[in-house]
Chains A and B, each alone.
Chain A
Amino acid sequence: MTEARDKAVFDTGQQYLGAVYAKALLGAAEKAGNAEAVLDELNSFIDEVIAKVPNLDSTLVSPRVAVEAKTAMLDKALGGKISVELLNFLKVVARHGRFDCLRAIRQAVREKLNELRGRVEVTLSAAELPSPESIELITNRLKVLLGKDVDLHVDVDRELIGGVKLRIGDTVYDASVANRLVRLKDELLSKTGQQLRDNLDRFALAD
């Protein structure tokens, strides 16, 4: 799955709310047995529906629109097109006025579902988009190394110049060319500087 990670500003308040709502949604979805489908639908709601119709987003978020109006709008737009659990969930979110946290909720649902299914979320950053074969190769290799299922996200970052950077949780494994150049520079400067200080005669020109 190739998708740009949400690099938006972190809001720990929304994150906490997102976690609470995600737990509720997943609980209902797991009971009905369609958790993955619900997540897919939520993704498409945010990335396709709301992205294409920005007015929908602002209306749902606005506190000036009555809850009944929002519920009616959701029914009209999505009734019958998405699973019952997700539709009810969106209505609950509207009732509590938490539509501004929807992206945080989606992120939390993704994380919690990965946790439930024993999957690890890994972000791969590279200077150019790797071929699908490379991505599959990397994913399989990681599955073997980590012993868990891997949910790989690929991110293109030209600043890396070359090589790859893997982020698993809060640990980064950096084998990018840019990072190696920086570390090479630091080490060169300190070692050469030390040598200069130790053997000044060798480096000074005889007058």
Chain B
Amino acid sequence: MTKFNADEIASVLQAEIEQYDSNIDVREVGTVLEVGDGIARVHGLSGVMANEMVEFPNGTRGLAFNLEENSVGLIILGDYLSIQEGDEVRALGRLLSVPVGEAVIGRVLDPLGNPLDGKGPVASTESRPVEVIAAGVSERQPVSQPLQTGIKAVDAMTPIGRGQRELIIGDRKTGKTAVAIDAILNQKDSGVKCFYVAIGQKDSSVAGVIKILEEQGAMAYTTVIVSGASSPSPLQYVAPYAGTAMAEYFMWKGEHALIVYDDLSKQAVAYRELSLLMRRPPGREAFPGDVFYCHSRLLERSSKLSDALGGGSITSLPIIETLEGEVSAYIPTNVISITDGQIYLQPDLFFAGIRPAMNVGISVSRVGGAAQVKAMKNVAGGLRLDLAAFRELEAFAQLGTDLDAATQSQLDRGYRMVELLKQGQYKPLYVVDQILSLYAGINGYLDDVPVNEVPAWEAAFLQFMQDQKSAVWKMVDENKDKGDTLKKADDPTTQAVVAAIQEFKKSYKPAE
């Protein structure tokens, strides 16, 4: 317990008082007419502009949301219980902004940048406005660099590039957050800064996520922005924009960032609550007419900048929760049309043991192979179609009829590939391991392994490659970006890998 030198502190205070030079305080004011439920109506503030920040007598901030003829509607970014009718509200003359910079890395913050982790104030020197217009067409370049999530199913069949928006969509409890967290964990040592924005989540769930990130050392490059279920809806509405502002700091410096919005359905509900309280006309499902704009302007800020501007990027993984698998509901269809692809997680796959529960058929990445490591593209290029064909056959096989050898082998290969694509939680795989594992499966080296032994085989094989065949492993790692690696049988890398696999198979004995 540090004891403080009272004389020193008193001398500092005295110096401050002597130097204090106060000018006349000029402010634009209004009077609160009514307040409640997170919003306030104010009379006056005749010069206030849309989205301008205002301050209440108790220090809480607000935003001017509705500019009406006789009053101004404000949303209150904090506790509204101590605001009373008749209170004087002052306009601050600036837009809402949050602290950004290296100082936010590793912290847990609220949407206004206030710390929630008890580690002291955020010592940042810069701030960025929460609402900005996204980079224009001429400031961007097409997505070409891969962002590895570490999940085999995603990186092989729906690859994500830096600067892409890939939606993770599914019912509750299908593993959406788990996919996003694995993607964050896999960015270790990659230089990508990660941001996890929790909107309307249970505080206990967010605490669990933070614990995992800390245990796995991910907090060294991750910022968590929390606006839990009990926080006011204006803060839940602002949270994703605040997180994006923090990520944009790195993008405009030429670095890369990954941001996860968990989840945007709850942000849409918070926005609906605000709009209805503000008497904005309700549209479909009572959402306001501009709920599409609410999400599109957020997601358009994730981009890949041109080389002239530094080549930085923000990749975003928005999460949407569907109800009863209904992807054609209002908000899911809106966000699907905005993003560059979706990963669709299904509960029946989840409960059948296929985790990640990705439905390969309807999951898509619109950037696709352009953002995939070349070696992976060569290996897994046809995997999607093969799995689609397998799914058709699987239904057929349930009829119980006798099948010819070719069909039976296709079925067997399919079962093994599905088993291979399963992956444990918080175990992201490095891309070279993924390539080796999938190469073995796709080229039939697993056909003689019983289906329920496939995971053990894979684990042992990868260990073998790292321990005893590290030269081959390094060869794949060095050549993974070359166009011909693992494409044809006469490629030297291919030959080395095949030889390694055959050697492993000879020595492999399944554990008892």
Check B5 for interface membership: any CB of A closer than 8 A: yes
Q: List CB contacts (< 8 Å) of A73-93 with chain B.
A: none
- Contacting pair A172 B29 (CB below 8 A): yes
Interface residue total, chain A, C-beta cutoff 8 A: 31
Q: List 20 A-B contacts (CB under 8 A).
A: A9-B86, A12-B33, A12-B43, A15-B70, A172-B25, A172-B29, A172-B90, A173-B26, A174-B24, A183-B22, A184-B20, A191-B16, A192-B13, A192-B16, A197-B120, A203-B4, A203-B5, A204-B4, A204-B5, A205-B5
Given A12-B43, A203-B9, is A188 in contact with B71 using a C-beta cutoff of 8 Å?
A: no
Check A202 for interface membership: any CB of B closer than 8 A: yes
20 additional A-B pairs beyond A188-B16, A197-B123, beta carbons within 8 Å, are: A9-B85, A10-B31, A15-B70, A170-B28, A170-B30, A170-B44, A170-B47, A172-B25, A172-B26, A172-B28, A175-B25, A184-B20, A187-B16, A188-B13, A188-B20, A192-B12, A196-B9, A202-B8, A203-B8, A204-B3
Q: List CB contacts (< 8 Å) of A138-174 with chain B.
A: 167, 169-174
Q: List CB contacts (< 8 Å) of B1-44 with chain A.
A: 2-5, 8-9, 12-13, 16-17, 20, 22, 24-31, 33, 43-44
Closest-by-CB residue of B relative to A207 is B3
Q: How far is the CB of A56 from chain B (nearest CB, A)?
A: 29
| Complex interface: chain A residues within 8 A of B70 (CB) | 12, 15-16
| Complex interface: chain A residues within 8 A of B13 (CB) | 188, 192
Q: How far is the CB of B32 from chain A (nearest CB, A)?
A: 9
Complex formed: what's the CA distance from A202 to B9 in Å? 9
Chain B: residues with CB nearer than 8 A to chain A? 2-5, 8-9, 12-13, 16-17, 20, 22, 24-31, 33, 43-47, 70-71, 85-86, 90, 120-121, 123
Chain A: residues with CB nearer than 8 A to chain B? 7, 9-10, 12, 15-16, 167, 169-175, 179-180, 183-184, 187-188, 191-192, 195-197, 200, 202-205, 207
Closest-by-CB residue of A relative to B46 is A170
| Chain A contact residues: helix, strand, loop or mixed | helix
| Complex interface: chain B residues within 8 A of A207 (CB) | 3
| Complex interface: chain B residues within 8 A of A10 (CB) | 31, 33, 43
Q: How far is the CB of B72 from chain A (nearest CB, A)?
A: 10
| Complex interface: chain B residues within 8 A of A170 (CB) | 28-30, 44-47
| Complex interface: chain B residues within 8 A of A7 (CB) | 86
- Contacting pair A171 B71 (CB below 8 A): no
Complex formed: what's the CA distance from A16 to B71 in Å? 11
Complex formed: what's the CA distance from A195 to B47 in Å? 37
| Complex interface: chain A residues within 8 A of B120 (CB) | 197
- Contacting pair B3 A171 (CB below 8 A): no
| Complex interface: chain A residues within 8 A of B3 (CB) | 204-205, 207
- Contacting pair B27 A171 (CB below 8 A): yes
Which among A170, A175, A187, A207 has the highest number of chain B CB atoms within 10 Å?
A170
Complex formed: what's the CA distance from A15 to B68 in Å? 14
Complex formed: what's the CA distance from A196 to B17 in Å? 16
| Complex interface: chain A residues within 8 A of B17 (CB) | 184, 188
- Contacting pair B4 A171 (CB below 8 A): no
Complex formed: what's the CA distance from A174 to B25 in Å? 5
Complex formed: what's the CA distance from A172 to B26 in Å? 6
